[in-house]
Amino acid sequence: MHHTNRGIKENKTFSVCIPSEDIINATDYCGLVSGSKVDKSGIFKVFHGKLKTAPMITECPVNLECKLEKIVDIGGHEIFVGEIISTITEEKYLTEGAIDLKKVKPFLLSLNDRVYYELGELKAKAWNVGNNYKPNE
């Protein structure tokens, strides 16, 4: 399999597109086939935002348009660190002005067993539940 990060490096932009369960089949297909063998350009509708060079996916309920800040090499792989310039979504995915993950219905990939999981129920309130933790001294 061959892939390149040339566009990110040249344009200094990238996007993070969060697919929903509604497009899980097409999303998985994109991971199964190599772009060097199959033209995947027509699978999703692409648009561009403020930065003009970070392609985003219309069918994804949430798209993050990012400006590249730095590249971290971790031995054969690169991690792209960016600043989010804009978050693009529709009103139907919001609750009280914030993205509502239950409405977005994203899925998670488990590399251990190679399956997708849906988000579960609320477990605890962030920046709150830790108030009850007492470290061993």
- Tell me the pLDDT tens digit for each residue of 73-119: 999 889 999 999 999 999 999 999 999 999 999 999 999 999 999 98
CA–CA separation, 49 and 93 (whole Å): 19
CATH number for region 6-132: 2.30.110.10
Measured CA to CA, the distance from residue 52 to residue 38 in angstroms comes to 25
Lowest mean pLDDT among 20-29, 30-39, 84-93: 30-39
Three-class SS state of 103: helix
pLDDT of residue 39: 92
For the cut 50, the answer to whether the pLDDT of residue 1 exceeds it is no
Mean pLDDT over 17-26 rounds to 97
Please state, in angstroms and rounded to a whole number, the distance separating the CA atoms of residues 97 and 91.
8
Q: What pLDDT was estimated at residue 113?
A: 93
